[in-house]
Amino acid sequence: ISPQDLAGKQVLVTLGPTREPWDGVRFWSNPSSGAMGACMAMAAYLRGAEVTVVAGPTGLLFPQAITVIPVRTALEMHRACLDLWPSMDIACATAAVADFRPIPHGPDKFKKGGASSLTVQFEANPDILKALGDSRRDGQQLIGFAAETGDPRAEAARKLESKGLDLIAANDVSRQGSGFGTATNEMFVLDRQGRRESWPVLPKTEVAWRLWDHLLLG
């Protein structure tokens, strides 16, 4: 039987990519599958939490007991998360949010004509996790993730601090068995108390379970 150590807790999970439209048929996005977030959401649900998932486009399905709010763009995800945050106890941000969105060309399909190159301008999207960190009230907890190329330890420490997190799990997505679309992850975990752990390659289900253990049991 699962420990019910999240009983009575409202848990928000962001997951998947965001999809930033450019013209009527094209968008800017990334290959996030949402798997790590789905594992965090399922583990929280099994541990007794009431779970709300704000999901970019993934096609993932969840048990009916988990509330799913589908969104497409970073701005939609930002709005949904800020609306939910006051009634949440914990937020876990696994979404691979597009840091920039193209300035839209318009609702119609762009005609390439004879062009041999194309310049698209982008503008910055809000940092959703940072917005949650900046508006947290006493007792609310935040878990972040960081997908890096190369040694993720310095970036993990920087993001824990700058986004006001309790716990961050970082990985080097260029390593085998760690990153987008894999069933496993190799994590470096750092918390607000300064504890640092390097975990071996583990199934994402196991990573999720251990992250909740780390947050809840120390």
Catalytic annotation, residues: 30
**In the complex, least distance from residue 105 CB atom to ligand C5P, rounded to whole angstroms:** 22
Task: Determine if 38 is a binding residue for ligand C5P (CB under 6 A).
Answer: no
**Helices 35-46, 204-217: crossing angle, 10 deg rounding:** 50
159 is in an annotated binding site: yes
**In the complex, least distance from residue 213 CB atom to ligand C5P, rounded to whole angstroms:** 19
* Footprint (CB under 6 A) of ligand C5P, residues 147-186: 159
Report the residue from 42, 146, 167, 207 that binds ligand C5P according to the rule CB under 6 A: 146
Nearest C-alpha neighbor of 17 from the set 72, 62, 79, 83: 72
108 is in an annotated binding site: no
Characterize the bridge pairing of strands 196-203 and 50-55. unpaired
* Both structure tokens of 119: 């310049």
Task: Determine if 128 is a binding residue for ligand C5P (CB under 6 A).
Answer: yes
Task: Determine if 97 is a binding residue for ligand C5P (CB under 6 A).
Answer: yes
Report the residue from 129, 156, 167, 208 that binds ligand C5P according to the rule CB under 6 A: 129
Given the rule CB under 6 A, which of 38-46, 58-66, 94-102, 197-205 is the region that contacts ligand C5P? 94-102
Report the residue from 23, 89, 99, 206 that binds ligand C5P according to the rule CB under 6 A: 99
Q: Looking at beta carbons only, is 3 or 197 nearer to ligand C5P?
A: 197
User: Alpha-carbon torsion 179, 184, 186, 192, what sign?
Assistant: positive
Which residues fall in the annotated binding site for CTP? 99, 109, 126-129, 145, 159, 163
Q: Which residues here bind ligand C5P, judged by CB under 6 A?
A: 14, 74, 93-95, 97, 99, 125, 127-129, 144-146, 159
